Structure formats: C-alpha cells, structure tokens
Structure 1
Amino acid sequence: MTTQTWIITGASRGFGRALAEAALEAGDRVVAAVRRPESVADLQAAHPDDCMVAEFDVREVAAAPGLVRDTLDRFGQIDVLVNNAGRAVVGAVEEVGDAQLRELMELHLFGPAALVRAALPAMRGRGFGTIVQMSSQGGRMSFPGVSTYSASKFALEGWSESLAGEVAPFGIRVLIVEPSRFRTGFNGAGVLEFAEASETYRDVLAGVRADMAGTDGRQEGNPKRAAEIIVYLAHAEEVPLRLPLGREAVERISGVHRRGLQEVERWAEIARSADFADAPASVRPI
C-alpha cells in the first residue's frame, strides 16, 4: 500500500486512538491532534519517525491552519483527515441550555469545518485525499434525550454530503462513519454529560439515562476492528459516502429509511397537492 499521512483529532482514546494505532500498524504516518499531548506520548515513542503529536483543541477554529501547516512541514502531504473528537450531552430539550448546545455544535460542526477548509488546498493540489467524518447512528436518527447530540451530528452529515459533491471533481473523497455503540469510553463517567433532570422529564427519560449510563464496557462494537475497516477503506479505490458501522447501526438506520419511505408514500397525495396545478414539472441540474 502507498504510505499515507493522517491527521486524527481526538486521538487520545476511543476511535481516535484505535485509528492512530491501526494507521501506524499499516505503515502510515499519523498526526495525533489532542488537547493533552501526554496522552499519546507512548505512540510517539513507539513510532518516532511516523507519529507527530500536536496540541490541538477542535473548538479553537483559528488553530486549524496551524495544524495543517505543521503537518505539511513535517510530512509534506495530507492524505486522510479524520474529524473524530466528540462527546455527548443527554437531556430533554428543555433541560439542555444554549451553552451546551453551542459547545457541541462547535465541537462537531464548526471545528471540523474549519479543519476541512484548512486541509483542502493541500489535498486539491495533489488531486487526492479522504475526509473521514466520524458521525453516529445518531446522525441519521434520534430519540428522546439526545436532541443536542443528534442536532450536531445531523448538521455535520448535511454539511459533509454537500462537501462530498464539491470536492469529488478534485479526487477527494468523503466518508461519513455512523457507528452504533462501541467500547470507546464514550459512555464513561466523566465523558458523557447528563443535564440536570427536571421533574417534568424525569420519568420520560429515566430509561434513556439508565441505558446511556449503564452501557460502558458492555457495548457490542470493537473499536480495533472498526479502525481496521476505516484504514482499509482509506487505502481502497472506492469509499461509500456513508458507512453504518456495527450490526445495530445497520439495522436501525435501515429501519429509519424504511419507515421514512412509508411515511412519504402515505402522505404523498396531499403533499403533491401543494403545487400549482398548471405548473410544469421541476427540472433541476442535481
């Protein structure tokens, strides 16, 4: 395989750490972009020539060009950009405040968008690149208690789908990864945030809170295997736009598509009646 250079945000643990390890094991080079450089010091020590550690907070959008510049100075190219850093807030819409909602939008949309914009000129210049957006099955479906998380991931997916069409002519691919539950520490204490429960929604969200808090260490997904799949795809000739990852993600996202189509078909006649009767059918370039 051709050696590729990766930038991976949130590489200190979970999917990011597994991806960094898998890419290095495949003979690639990795820039581990983390808030705490000491958290990946062992990776750098084990791969001094192929691993660079960069102190980086995704939410600091002004730092994105510097990370790209440092990567190019060290390795001369960027082949794969992985926007992985993220976390979740659990709570009803009325329980989660503006500050928490804005923070997740900064972490899951504005930060990744800034890093993509910074990396694209170098990718376009070489006519090659893969942008991996770590979304979630929660980026295609939602349920009570996760509105804040899903809002940020839905936004990332819509932004990325448009991006994919814009950069394809330049040889750049976009891969949106939609995992189900993996043993990444995502549900661990100190990582998963719970909004203060209100009397109004305490019983409504009791099951969701218990499920989200009680699943750490029991998730079905294997992060190491997930990372191997993503590294394989980064080196493959073709990548899907969206990749549900894990059995649950495949089944639940498939179900969402089926139910959505059924709902469209059920209301199609009344929906079509909203058009002017004498208007010609729409003709669009896309």
Structure 2
Amino acid sequence: MSVWFITGISRGLGRSLADAALRRGHTVVGTTRSGTADLEHDRLHVLPLELIDPSQVAPVVNRAHELAGGIDVVVNNAGFGLLGPVQDSTAEQTAEVFEVNFFAPLRIIQAAVPHLRTQGRGHLVNIASIAALDPHAGSGVYAAAKSALVAMSEALAEELRPLGIGVTAVEPGSFRTDFLTPASIRRTGDFVSPLDAMDGKQPGDPDRAAEVIIDAVEGGRPPRHLVLGADAIARTRENTRSLLADVDAWAAAAGNTSFG
C-alpha cells in the first residue's frame, strides 16, 4: 500500500480522494487550514496548512513524511476560483489566485521531490481545471493560474521521468462540489456568472472522479493529462480542433519565417 499526501481534504474532490484512498488500504496524510477533517481512520493523519504562508509548506511536508514513514503520491488539490472579467481583477485578487493555485503547489513539489528522489519512485498529481485547456469569459485569471500549473506539470514530467517519478495534471470539468459557493469562489466586482445556475446541479460525481484518479496513478502507465468528465472531454476536443484549424489556416505563411 502507498502513502498519499493530499492538500485540501476538508471538502470536495480532496475529501473524496482521501476517502477513496483510505478505502483502498492506503495511508493518507491530508491537510486542511484548521488541521481537522470530518474523516476518521487509523490510517489518516490530518495536518494544518495555510497555503499562502510559504514558511509552513516544507515543515508540513517533512512532518507528513515522518508520520507515515514516507510519501508515495503527492496530490496538490487545494485551491479556489476567481470569476469576473480580467479587466476588473485587482492586483491583490490576481496575486492571491496565483499564490494558492500555482505557487503553493510549486512549493509543495519542491519540498516533496527530495523525498521522492531518495526513494527512487513517486508520483505527483496536480489538480488543475478544464479552464486551463479551454478558458471561458469570466475565468481568465483563474484559468491563467491553472494553465501555469499544467505547463509546469508538463515540464516537470520530463525532468523527473529519469528519476522514476511521474507527474499527472488533472483537468476536471463540472463536478458537484462546493466550488461554486463562497467557500471556494471569489468574484471581481458584482460579476454574475452563468455558472451560478449550475451550483448543485453539476453532472460530475466527485467520488467517481476520485476513483478514476487513483486508478490512473496505480494503472502502471499514468497519463500526463487526465481530463475528467464528459463535459471536459468535449470541451478539450473542440478547443483542440479550433487550435489545429488556426495552425492549418496560417501554416503556409507562419511556417515561412526562417532565414534564407
């Protein structure tokens, strides 16, 4: 069995992941802001972690390693969204979105990888968003932060592959969590999102998503990208078609730009 280090297990996908990992016999070290969670198990350890405090990250990761006797899988799950026009996003809002959704995962990775390298194995799972692959109006700053996480994941996969460490970026679509509630969403100004009408009606089941994520990690050949949900798959395919159409339409001119 493996040791899973998961941030943000108090609710949503993080809670579902922790629960699923425990049911499969794994040990879970999870973090919440308060250091408590409504999950109870003798293979569960819950540690307090304030993601926006850089000084807390390395000690918490090291403590997790000490408590469980190692770390096999690191899941950067904790995060929050920002909805509203890009032009209305304040510098403070933008900084906070990037701090939680990009810089905090980066610090956790930098603290965890030395342990994984010593072991000669491990896997990093970065929970991004379909917004990273198919941004919509009103999600620009949030999508930018998640896109940064995905891009880093791709480069990191190349860097860590020779060391026996895998990396998967997960891009979920709409899942029925509290993501669209004030607990997980900030807004710019008085912005009202069409997504508001979906709260509580999202088609995705976070428990089933958690099972797929664990299956992907344990399946022998974990993917670099795991696009989760029928809606996310459809959006990714359509956005890819649109991208290729632009590439093909301008290939003759754009490709004729070399010296000589």
- Report the TM-score when normalising by structure 1: 0.88
Instruction: Please give the alpha-carbon distance, in whole angstroms, between the structure 2 residues aligned to 1:66 and 1:19.
Output: 23
Instruction: Please give the alpha-carbon distance, in whole angstroms, between the structure 2 residues aligned to 1:22 and 1:190.
Output: 23
Give 1:253 shift: 0.4
Aligned residues: 260
Residue type matched to 1:175 in 2? T
Q: Secondary structure at the match of 2:45?
A: strand
Where in structure 2 are the equivalents of 1:178-189 lying within 5 Å?
A: 178-189=171-182
Superposed structure 1 runs of 4+ greater than 3 Å apart:
none
Q: Secondary structure at the match of 1:37?
A: coil
Equivalent residue, structure 2, for 1:213: 196
Residue type matched to 1:193 in 2? R
* 1:111–1:79 distance in 2 versus 1, CA, 3 Å: same
Give 1:223 shift: 0.2
Instruction: Please give the alpha-carbon distance, in whole angstroms, between the structure 1 residues aligned to 2:61 and 2:129.
Output: 25
1:165 to 143, 158, 163: 158
Equivalent residue, structure 1, for 2:99: 106
Give 1:60 shift: 1.8
Residue type matched to 2:2 in 1? Q
1:47 to 37, 41, 45: 41
Are 1:274 and 2:250 counterparts?
no
Instruction: Please give the alpha-carbon distance, in whole angstroms, between the structure 2 residues aligned to 1:12 and 1:190.
Output: 11
CA shift digits 1:168-222 (9 cap, x unpaired): 111111111101000111012343222113xxxx7xxxxxx34221211100100
Equivalent residue, structure 2, for 1:284: none
Q: Secondary structure at the match of 1:52?
A: strand
Residue type matched to 1:58 in 2? L
Instruction: Please give the alpha-carbon distance, in whole angstroms, between the structure 1 residues aligned to 2:214 and 2:256.
Output: 48
Give 1:62 shift: 2.2
Give 1:153 shift: 0.5
CA shift digits 1:207-261 (9 cap, x unpaired): xx34221211100100000001111222221111001100011110011111101
Instruction: Please give the alpha-carbon distance, in whole angstroms, between the structure 1 residues aligned to 2:114 and 2:183.
Output: 37
Which structure is larger by alpha-carbon Rg, 1 or 2? 1
Q: Secondary structure at the match of 1:94?
A: helix
Give 1:12 shift: 0.5
Query: Structure 1: 5+ residue runs without aligned partners?
Result: 203-208, 278-286
Report the RMSD for the aligned CA atoms in angstroms. Answer: 1.2
Query: Structure 2: 5+ residue runs without aligned partners?
Result: none
Instruction: Please give the alpha-carbon distance, in whole angstroms, between the structure 2 residues aligned to 1:185 and 1:65.
Output: 28
Equivalent residue, structure 1, for 2:127: 134
Query: Is the Cα–Cα contact under 8 Å of residues 18 and 227 in structure 1 kept in the other structure?
Result: yes
2:81 to 88, 91, 95: 88
2:63 to 64, 70, 74: 70
Are 1:241 and 2:217 counterparts?
no
Give 1:274 shift: 2.2
Are 1:250 and 2:228 counterparts?
no
Query: Is the Cα–Cα contact under 8 Å of residues 7 and 75 in structure 2 kept in the other structure?
Result: yes
Residue type matched to 1:219 in 2? Q
- Report the TM-score when normalising by structure 2: 0.97
% identity of equivalent residues: 35
Equivalent residue, structure 2, for 1:193: 186
Query: Is the Cα–Cα contact under 8 Å of residues 9 and 58 in structure 1 kept in the other structure?
Result: no
Residue type matched to 1:33 in 2? T
Residue type matched to 1:115 in 2? I
Query: Is the Cα–Cα contact under 8 Å of residues 83 and 193 in structure 2 kept in the other structure?
Result: no
Query: Is the Cα–Cα contact under 8 Å of residues 84 and 189 in structure 2 kept in the other structure?
Result: yes
Query: Is the Cα–Cα contact under 8 Å of residues 92 and 146 in structure 1 kept in the other structure?
Result: yes
